[in-house]
Structure 1
Amino acid sequence: MDELEFRRRIMSDPKERSSEIVDAIKADNANSKFAEDALELDAHIAKAMAVDVPEDLVDRILFNQTSYSEYNVVRPSFARRAMATAASVAFVFGLLVGQVNWGNILVPPAQASIADIAIKHVMDEKPFVGRIDENVPSSQISAKMMPFDHKLGTHFPYHVYYLNHCGFGSENALHMVFQGEKGKVTLFLTSMPTKQAVDFVQQGMAGIVEPMGNASLILVGEEGENVAKIAENIANIIKPMS
């Protein structure tokens, strides 16, 4: 189960603890923290919405209706007070939502650079994908590239440990982890465009963003990895569909 699917299921049901969810929580501290935050928020909401009904509710409603029909005097009815209480509950709920660290739930803001998004994605998923070796064949890589209007023109020259689709900022991306010269390298192919090639070094990692038509190819490896050379090798074998 990838990070996006895990978070979607926890947000829809914070109390779900299927075998897949439990495994994902055990495998990643970030997943465990996310599940705890979701449960805490769910408990706050339940507490805020727990409004006790007065025992004399029926009598008070009947009294208000009678008073209005006999004297045509406008009084604040219990229903109006209940609506006011509900509005207060909604306001409290809004405050609770404001206190949640949504940075762990939402993708980075739209103005974040492609490099920033890539680095955060690699850091967040490193504990999970670091233990996987799917030995992915080139045919499967081409199939995963199809939604981005690209395919492999020949055999992929590196051992691929992991391959999937993922959320990438406001777009989707192909997410691949393969063996570089010094260590594992993460590749993203996304429909988020870029105008020019960009090299970057952040948090002990080196990366490059390469424009590829209306898409972008992003590589992130350990600092010292020659990602520019790897990007050149890969860019030569990735072809547009048409």
Structure 2
Amino acid sequence: MDDLEFRRALLADPKSTDTQVLDAIASDPKKLAFSNELKQLNQKMLEASQIKVPDGLAHRLLLRQSMAQHTQRRSRRKYMQFAMAASIAMVFGLSFVFWQQPSNSLSLSEHAIAHVIMEGNYALGANEDITMQQVNLKLARFGGEFTSQVSQVYYANYCDFNNVKSLHLVMQGESGKVSVFIVPHEQAFKADNLTEGKWNSQSFDFSTASLVVVSEAPADASSMKEKLVKSLIFSA
């Protein structure tokens, strides 16, 4: 069993009892360490999910988000949606701290897919109407700019990508939503392509940052990457 097959097997089931997986763990200290790391992550995620949410925390998080986004009016229904999202985000945030400890054991695409899986429907379920101007304001932090409107943008926010502050977008692909990450070159990541379960990832290295597109549809990941590469530029 090679390293990629081993990682895929453990990411799918950290407690796998497959004979090949167990033999690989027993014969390779690095694989044993990776297995222990995933088991610890699962345990910490379980502990984090059992933490009692302090009274009023969801409201404070919602208020901060509202101020940051300069939202003037919100209906009661949308208020409840964001309050729930804020509570879920706190749990994901606690667990994500443990997931994103500095490590070179995962590739650029593996990190992107793991990020999407860990967030669940939090970003993919967003339905905001974000202009390319707003996206470029955030992208300017990394010296980047979109020169044309590629697709509708539902979500645009900074995220922690293996301890690198990056830009996370959710855009409309040809057959569904796609997740897009723009990651500055602060870690030794290299562009790669990967299919992990139902997820497909395509990436591209610019001079100062990498672009990663994750989608359930391989054609969406590929076509969106090509469109973004043609439209995205970075200053020297």
User: What is the aligned-residue RMSD (CA, Å)?
Assistant: 3.1
> Would the aligned equivalents of 2:153 and 2:172 in 1 still touch at CA under 8 Å?
yes
Q: Say if 1:211 and 1:180 are closer, same or farther in 2 by CA, change over 3 A.
A: same
**Partners of 1:32 and 1:241 in 2: CA distance:** 35
Larger Rg: 1
Alignment of 1:43-82 (within 5 A): none
Q: Distance in 1 between matches of 2:111 and 2:164?
A: 11
Structure 1 distance, partners of 2:96, 2:221, is: 28
Question: 1:39-75: CA deviations, max 9, x gaps?
Answer: xxxxxxxxxxxxxxxxxxxxxxxxxxxxxxxxxxxxx
Is the Cα contact below 8 Å between 1:28 and 1:127 reproduced in 2? no
Deviates more, 1:196-205 or 1:209-218: 196-205
User: Residues of 2 paired with 1:128 and 1:107: CA distance?
Assistant: 17
Paired-residue identity, %: 21
CA contact (8 A) 1:146 1:241 kept: no
1:171 to 1:129, Cα distance in 2 relative to 1, 3 A: same
Tell me whether 1:175 sits opposite 2:168 in the alignment. Answer: yes
Whether 1:115 aligns to 2:104 is no
Partner residue, 1:105:
97
Give the alignment's TM-score, normalised by structure 1.
0.58
The one-letter code of the counterpart of 2:183 is T
Match of 2:56 in 1: 17
Show the counterpart of 1:221.
Answer: 215
The letter for the 1-side match of 2:150 is: P
The number of equivalent residue pairs is 164
Aligned equivalent of 1:27: 85
Unaligned runs of 5+ in 2: 1-51, 63-79
User: 4+ residue runs of structure 1 moved beyond 4 angstroms?
Assistant: 20-25, 28-35, 193-196
CA contact 2:146–2:233 (8 Å) conserved in 1: yes
TM-score by length of 2: 0.59
- Is there any run of 5+ residues in structure 1 with no aligned partner, and where? 1-12, 36-101
Measure, in 2, the Cα distance between the counterparts of 1:168 and 1:34: 14
